[in-house]
Structure 1
């Protein structure tokens, strides 16, 4: 019997022999896979920001990082740690901080103080047709032009660079304090507040504090003055120029005689309409509370806000007023706040015809938050938002952005662990959501009261300061305890 191997088995053995042979070297040892080393180019990082200079490379490529070198080569200024592709960009400082290659705009800013060793404030600010600006506030300084002898209204005109052009004071020998100022359609201004004088520019006093209104032209010359009052304390809260060219005054009075004849013993809210020459057209009052701000609506009626104390005297409620053009009340409404103190001092008609109000809420534990309240023209609440920045927070002004898509708000806050006041400018969208917020000042009390957005971009802000450091660098140490007018010009991003 013959043995044999089939053709299929022979083919299998032959194939297996080939596979084994291909997996061995000539000396029958396994092959080792050798990888080539990776060589990198390294660049000088002189400012140690992690980004290298593309023009300063190591002469040879290397696998090991040398000291002072990085593999990145995208730094556009290797001498400045704050300039690199990950840096925060300021579009208005003339520096390409994030190395994106875009042209930068240089926007000139300033922070300046004006005053003496006495007392000056800036409560209002306006840009003028010559490119400069004008501020108004209160002052007590014997060196000021037209100083009469006590606290008085103070108007100051500056050129485009913030240099003083002229200043004028208004009032009498007793205390006169400004509370409102508005630009008028004739190119001048109307301002008002309280006065206890009856000399100088004030010709009569009915007793205690009276409403006092001054109409001036663009050069600060008085066109007319008006005193409205009674024998008790009278406080002017707001003035607006109406579409008809008259002036609506809003405030409160404890008086019940002279110009404020009424019944009742508590403070009452008053509205007085003046013709454009200062003559009284009509007066209207509501026998309770205080009026702080008012605005004219598109139908010619007026919407106003104020406050009143509850019957127990421990809480404050908000009062809303709606008046016809003749002074007749359409309605009043009460908003119960549940807070020890509630104040809404800023009012603005929004682009959607809603009413935006700003102020503060103070709790019984002496924590004050700033408050935004948005209402319909019928006084119904759209939304209400409280913001807690420090221990005491307050809104001082609200401005609608030129593009009508957001609001610019100025305010002040006091930190919980100090008496220092910090001033700020913030941008909120139309729903009351914070977009950005920038703070300014030094180590002492710094207050901002008013803001305008310039057509050319940027902002002008007025207030006052006691600091001599930080953002206040032009004030002498000798003025360390004096309160000076403080003016800032900011970039379009709200930075100094």
Structure 2
């Protein structure tokens, strides 16, 4: 973030996050959380998580099908017969149905990995549980190119948790399973272009000095390579790129770390890493590659309390384009997942407090696209909002190339009151907060000059 003085007033100059299209909350009187979300083939959304408001036991898997406007098409509650059920991942499968992976009896001594396969209406085709007796966790699952499924989680063996990977056929029967030889936690999995799998997790979780652990398996579960990365913790989400992988998480297992992005090549060799420290506790829960080759990350940031949903947009080198601290309740908010919508906007899933959580969705408009050439405003023209304003307003504009911007303030008689020149080194969308508390009520004019373009705004101070 760069700080500059406009019209004698100190303001911050930021790349602007996309505007909100809609937000909606779902739930009842108790905790309800959306842990995973995906844009579906019909342009709507599927959301999975857990509910303590609905269902026969204390904590059930909750699946919601929504249309493109966030209105409910149907919801389903799945009960294992135990308390503390949840779903940590959801994916629309090739047959139009859904794969859910989570937990039956999360955190209990008889907890099991729970996999649910549904049809397009959320009706159960089959369910399977894996483990039991010692306490196991399910974190992530994906449909594979052979019509089966790959599942990752953790199993409790020899007084410690270890990564557990299961390959299932289309009916949920186990083809093979692999368990790590030492303390670890399996958090994310993806199929790779060669038919193998990449696993993201935490290494040495029983000790204080845990590390990020990436494991590459072949199609039969054989080890191809493994890498650990110092000063980073569990890979909560991993995405397959055309030439490697991108991982996000926290620099410290169990909290009080910083959000990070790690970029590695197909053999797991580090290309770059970036940490994003706001001076609070930050964690990246989900990352997606954007159409321009950059990344969108969602997680949380804060201290106890408040926590806020933390959204970060980075370019293909991990450099920050914009950040967004979304305050839903102002108390205890949490971002869990993000996906890219059909129009290029974002859908973000999480939960907001205070008190009992509600499942919360944020749907944004697409980011303004900056095109090459002489057109300074290829998507939207500059605008000022709100207008009229009380104490503060904002100047929003886009640049297609680095340039100098001159901003001048005039009164209703045409007298120039202030003038400042800004040097903007990057193309993109900019938001300039304008503090008008020192102005008297009345009509003013803001003029912005960009190279050969001049735009004048009439603004009203209430």
Return the TM-score normalized by structure 1: 0.66
Quickly say closer, same or farther: Cα 1:466–1:317, change in 2 above 3 A: same
Q: Verify the 8 A CA contact 1:120 1:140 in the aligned structure 2.
A: yes
What is the match of residue 343 of structure 1?
Answer: 234
Q: Verify the 8 A CA contact 1:414 1:421 in the aligned structure 2.
A: yes
What is the match of residue 456 of structure 1?
Answer: 343
What is the match of residue 331 of structure 2?
Answer: 444
Report the alpha carbon displacement of residue 404 of structure 1 after superposing the two structures with TM.
Answer: 4.5
Q: Verify the 8 A CA contact 1:306 1:343 in the aligned structure 2.
A: yes
Cα distance in 1 for partners of 2:213, 2:293 equals 28
Rg (Cα) greater in structure: 1
CA deviation string 1:257-278 (max 9, x = no partner): xxxxxxx553332211101111
Count of residue pairs the alignment pairs up: 356
What is the match of residue 182 of structure 1?
Answer: 91
What is the match of residue 405 of structure 1?
Answer: 293
1:331 to 2:218 alignment: no
1:356 to 2:246 alignment: yes
Q: Which has the higher contact order (CA 8 A, sep 6+)?
A: 2
Cα distance in 2 for partners of 1:328, 1:367 equals 35
Q: Verify the 8 A CA contact 1:267 1:287 in the aligned structure 2.
A: no
Q: Among 45, 53, 56, which residue is 1:133 paired with? A: 45
Unaligned 5+ runs, structure 1: 1-48, 51-86, 94-107, 198-205, 256-263, 468-480
CA deviation string 1:153-211 (max 9, x = no partner): 101122332222321111234221222222212111111111139xxxxxxxx961111
Quickly say closer, same or farther: Cα 1:298–1:466, change in 2 above 3 A: same
1:217 to 2:125 alignment: no
What is the match of residue 21 of structure 2?
Answer: 109
Report the alpha carbon displacement of residue 462 of structure 1 after superposing the two structures with TM.
Answer: 1.2
Greater fraction of residues in strand: 2
Return the TM-score normalized by structure 2: 0.71
Report the alpha carbon displacement of residue 90 of structure 1 after superposing the two structures with TM.
Answer: 8.6
Q: Verify the 8 A CA contact 2:307 2:332 in the aligned structure 1.
A: yes
1:244 to 2:146 alignment: yes
What is the match of residue 477 of structure 1?
Answer: none
Report the alpha carbon displacement of residue 109 of structure 1 after superposing the two structures with TM.
Answer: 1.3
What is the match of residue 253 of structure 1?
Answer: 155
Q: Verify the 8 A CA contact 1:390 1:413 in the aligned structure 2.
A: no
Q: Among 283, 291, 309, which residue is 2:177 paired with? A: 283
Quickly say closer, same or farther: Cα 1:424–1:92, change in 2 above 3 A: closer
CA deviation string 1:376-415 (max 9, x = no partner): 22221111211102411011111111x2421111121005
Report the alpha carbon displacement of residue 89 of structure 1 after superposing the two structures with TM.
Answer: 11
The root-mean-square deviation of aligned C-alpha atoms, in Å, is 2.9
Report the alpha carbon displacement of residue 439 of structure 1 after superposing the two structures with TM.
Answer: 2.4
1:375 to 2:269 alignment: no
Cα distance in 2 for partners of 1:118, 1:344 equals 30
